[in-house]
Amino acid sequence: MGKSVPTHFQCDDDVAVLEIDHPPVNALSHEVRTTLAAGLDRAAQDPAVKAVVISGAGGSFPAGADINEIASGASFTPPILLDVLAQIEAFAKPIVAAIEGVALGGGFELALTCHARLAAPQARVGLPEVKLGLIPGAGGTQRFTRLAGPQAALQAITTGEALPAERALALGLIDALAADTRAAAIAHARRLASEGMPVLASQREDKIAQVDPTLFESWRTANAHRYRGQLAPWRIVDAIEAACTRTPRAAFELERQYYLECRDSPQREALMHVFHAERAARKIPGIGADVTPLPIRRAAIVGAGTMGAGIAMCFASAGLPVILLDVSDAALARGVAHIRELYAQAVARGRVTREQAEAALERIGTSVDYGSLGDVDIAIEAVFEDPVLKREVFERLDRSTPSHAILASNTSTLDIDRLAAATRRPQQVVGTHFFSPAHVMKLMENVRGERSSPQALATVMALARQLGKIAVLAGNCDGFIGNRMLQYYGAQAERLLEEGATPEQVDAVIERFGFAMGPLAMRDLAGNDVGWAIRRNRTLPPDERWSPILERMVAEGRLGRKSGHGFYRYEGGKRRHSPETLALIESVSRELGIERRVVGDEEILARLLHPLVNEGAKILAEGIALRSGDIDVVYIHGYGFPAYKGGPMYWAEREGLDAVIATLERLAPTHGRRWRPAERLIEAARAGSWSECGAAAALTSN
């Protein structure tokens, strides 16, 4: 079978169109670079060609360098992207980029190097390298800054967010929008050929001529916490600063140097693991392309509390009408007021426009009557975590929603099969576990009940994408993947307090490690009463015990942020030391006869992270998670584990699984049987990685 050439050379009269055709995303692989360079050569040599247009087949410009080549080193095989871009810079005829879909990473760097850029109104452009632990390495930071100025560059490149075409136009990154992008690009190229070439981005000076010299230091100070521990965001700032302060040659060279530094860093490897893990998580063995998800056009959310309100926002923001149901008008009014406040905050932070927020609010209806659910395709239950109440709600949903509708629960820990048994459609019952705050957190932990049908599962996996979430499928057990692991992490945090650590110390260690929030600050956020209620339903093995600290906190009304006082005092939203809580902890230590000691930071980290890994191994062995990468995705997007450390299972692999086993064995005699290294962990250590051992290998090779 003949191999197709990934760059087509076509001529539209005197304009050569080089179309990159390399599914799925036209990544700039070695073959693409080679054929693009050859196409440019041919256009340069052909006297009949007066100008060139570069476009992408399938409605998309390249979505970047080929990620697999970056990992393998093949991106360094000539011609490298920089060679092709140098060829464009030196080209004697105008070259115009026609961006019909996305132009990302190296793809956008290619576009930025061209003499002009035209984009479709729905196109999105950006430099997402930071999400892979990289900085743009082919002049992206330089050309972006020269076209749009350092302020816009700092914002866009350190976050890696893709910009809508209209915004890119306003910033000067794109020259014009055109619905028929390719035809417009051809006409534009022809015009440039007759009227003269515009100044290349690399030579533009106007946007960097008068830069406030304090800009970069202010940015560094303002973002010190957000990007702590990371490499790429800081190197991006350095590169943008260099664009404004150094000669072009020196600045381009620095960018390349920073790129190589990031490329060789463990953070880049970890983030690429996450990229692949997120995509692998979408693939469910046994659910192929032949299973069509049910289209979701309208949803109901039952319970307008913290979670229900946030989940309703997810649907409304994604353009889907949603009806919020609760027991009273007062509860609904509270829920809607909460939603309004969250949208107002989003508008104030520039995350959405006022018009978008208003349109979303209009998509949210309310009702106290189950009779109003006659036309929904899915109902998501988010009432109190009470098994009897939830069963009752499922019975009512079964009677009042159309027979095709999916019934889902947002339960944190309860048995999905028992909820399914309350209905006449157990095959359409699943878990859809969102994370708080639901309108922000990216994870949707979907739960497979014993009788959940492939279509029901395919539907909630597809729904996650529709809502802009990242989905992981979990098996049905107490706490599923995330909360099952979390309980031991949370329990250890309190045991460390009993032994002599302070809430500040425990949280600082975990936050320094890179978590968004330490375990005790997280408890205060979720509500200590909520943590306590969940714990009361659980039993522990005989050689373990819960610390009484949490129960005492609840008894004294220290519920966390919502009561202004928990492990910390809250003043104006800021956490402050609580002498009362420290006194409570010390009195618990006294009552238990524990002599408080100085607990080292290293011990804190070991005692919090190892139970996560050991329980993760058990979850894998039981098939609750399909792959170790799924567990990583859950922890990163649901619990704030630092993505640049790859998730707990990846972290353990990098630490060395043998070393993890040794630590568990050292701690097991003091802390109980649960600390004995799990079978799957021992197997993985023998095999050298999670994916090489047992069922995980069987699943991932499917």
Task: Supply the residues annotated as catalytic.
Answer: 109, 129
Q: Which amino acid is at 61?
A: F
Evaluated on CA atoms 139, 144, 145, 150, the torsion sign reads negative
327 interacts with, out of ligand NAI, ligand CAA, none, CB within 5 to 8 A per kind: ligand NAI
Name the CA dihedral angle for 69, 72, 76, 81, rounded to a multiple of 10 degrees.
20
683 closest CA partner among 664, 657, 702, 665: 657
Burial class (CB in 10 A: 0-12, 13-18, 19+), 4: exposed
The binder of 681, among ligand NAI, ligand CAA, none, by C-beta within 5 to 8 A per type, is none
Q: Which of residues 239-298 bind ligand CAA (CB under 6 A)?
A: 279
What number of chain residues touch ligand CAA (CB under 6 A)? 23
Q: Which of 64, 308, 426, 479 binds ligand CAA (CB under 6 A)?
A: 64
> Of ligand NAI, ligand CAA, none, which one sits near residue 331, judging by CB under 5 to 8 A according to partner kind?
ligand NAI
Q: Residue 302's binding partner, choosing from ligand CAA, ligand NAI, none, with beta-carbon cut-off 5 to 8 A by kind?
A: ligand NAI
Task: Write the burial class of residue 24 (CB in 10 Å: 0-12 exposed, 13-18 middle, 19+ buried).
Answer: exposed
Question: CB of 328: closest distance to ligand NAI in angstroms?
Answer: 7
Return d(Cα 377, Cα 408) in angstroms, integer.
11
Contact partner at residue 138 from ligand NAI, ligand CAA, none, CB < 5 to 8 Å by partner kind: ligand CAA
Q: Which of the stretches 39-47, 99-107, 224-232, 518-526 binds ligand CAA when contact is defined by CB under 6 A?
A: 99-107
Secondary element (H or E) of residue 405 = none
Residue 325 — φ and ψ, nearest 5°? -120, 135
- CA 136 – CA 258 distance, rounded (Å): 9
Considering only residues 109-128, where is the footprint of ligand CAA by CB under 6 A?
A: 109, 128
Of 178 and 302, nearer to ligand NAI (C-beta) is 302
102 lies in the binding site for ligand CAA (CB under 6 A): yes
Residue from 230, 224, 256, 232 nearest 243 by CA: 256
Site for ligand CAA (CB under 6 A): which residue of 6, 39, 137, 335? Answer: 137
What torsion, rounded to 10 degrees, do the Cα atoms 664, 537, 326, 294 define? Answer: 50
Helix axes 628-639, 482-499, angle to 10 degrees: 60
DSSP H helix total and E strand total for the chain: 30, 19
For the sheet containing 163-164, what is the strand order? 102-104, 124-126, 163-164
Q: How far apart are CA 658 and CA 685, in angstroms?
A: 6
Q: How far apart are CA 40 and CA 15, in angstroms?
A: 12
Q: What is the dihedral angle through the alpha carbons of 157, 160, 163, 168, rounded to the nearest 10 degrees?
A: 20
**Which residues within the stretch 12-51 sit at the binding site for ligand CAA (CB under 6 A)?**
24-25, 27
Min separation Cβ 415 and ligand NAI, Å: 12
**Which stretches of the chain bind ligand NAI, using CB under 6 A?**
302-308, 325-327, 331, 382-385, 389, 393, 410-412, 435-436, 526, 530
Q: How far apart are CA 265 and CA 262, in angstroms?
A: 5
Task: Please choose which of ligand CAA, ligand NAI, none residue 39 contacts, taking the beta carbon within 5 to 8 angstroms, the exact cut-off set by kind.
Answer: none
Residue 224, binding choice from ligand CAA, ligand NAI, none, Cβ under 5 to 8 Å by partner class: none
Residue closer to ligand NAI by CB (options 325, 378) is 325
Closest approach of ligand NAI to the CB of residue 624, in Å: 17
Say what angle helices 232-245 and 215-222 make with each other, to 10 degrees: 170
Q: Is 134 in the site for ligand CAA (CB under 6 A)?
A: yes
Q: Scanning the structure block, which residue is given the tokens 């979990």?
A: 474
Tokens of 52: 């060139």
Q: Alpha carbon of 12 to those of 15, 16, 181, 184, 573: distances in Å? A: 5, 6, 14, 12, 62
Per partner kind, with CB cut-offs from 5 to 8 A, the member of ligand NAI, ligand CAA, none near residue 667 is: none
Q: Which of residues 138 and 631 has its CB atom nearest to ligand CAA in the complex? A: 138
133 contributes a contact to ligand CAA by CB under 6 A: no
Q: How far is the CB of 400 from ligand NAI (least distance, A)?
A: 12
From CA 204, how far away is CA 219, in angstroms rounded?
A: 24
Question: What CA–CA distance (Å, rounded) separates 539 from 389?
Answer: 21
d(CA 176, CA 159): 25
Cβ nearer to ligand NAI, comparing 14 with 478: 478
Does position 80 bind ligand CAA by CB under 6 A?
A: no
- Does 94 engage in binding with ligand CAA (CB under 6 A)? no
CB atoms within 10 A of CB 543: 10
Which residue, 103 or 304, is less far from ligand NAI as judged by CB? 304
Q: How far is the CB of 394 from ligand NAI (least distance, A)?
A: 11
φ, ψ for residue 100 (rounded to 5)?
A: -95, -25
Nearer residue to ligand NAI within complex by CB, 139 or 566: 566
CA 136 and chain centroid, separation: 20
63 binds, among ligand CAA, ligand NAI, none (CB under 5 to 8 A by kind): ligand CAA
Least Å distance, CB 484 to ligand NAI, is: 13
User: Does 65 contact ligand CAA by CB under 6 A?
Assistant: yes
Residue 384 CB, shortest distance to ligand NAI, in Å, is: 5
| 542 touches ligand CAA (CB under 6 A) | no
> Quick one: what does residue 109 bind among ligand NAI, ligand CAA, none, with the CB cut-off 5 to 8 Å set by partner type?
ligand CAA
139 binds ligand CAA per the rule CB under 6 A: no
CB of 141 or CB of 412, closer to ligand NAI: 412
Question: Is 653 a binder of ligand CAA (CB under 6 A)?
Answer: no
Q: Which of 136, 293, 518, 531 binds ligand CAA (CB under 6 A)?
A: 136
- Whole-angstrom distance, CA of residue 450 vs CA of residue 430: 9
* Distance, CA of 505 to CA of 493 (rounded, Å): 10
Partner touching 629 among ligand NAI, ligand CAA, none, CB below 5 to 8 Å by kind: none
- Of the pair 397, 472, the CB lying nearest ligand CAA is at 472
Rounded to a whole number of angstroms, the minimum distance from the CB of residue 524 to ligand NAI is: 12
Residue the block writes with tokens 């027979």: 403
Amino acid letter, 586? E
C-alpha to C-alpha distance for 628 and 613, rounded to whole angstroms: 10
Please say which residue, 294 or 414, places its beta carbon nearer to ligand NAI.
414
Q: Which residue is nearest to ligand NAI (CB)?
A: 305
Residues near ligand CAA, by CB under 6 A: 24-25, 27, 63-68, 81, 102, 104-106, 109, 128-129, 132, 134, 136-138, 279
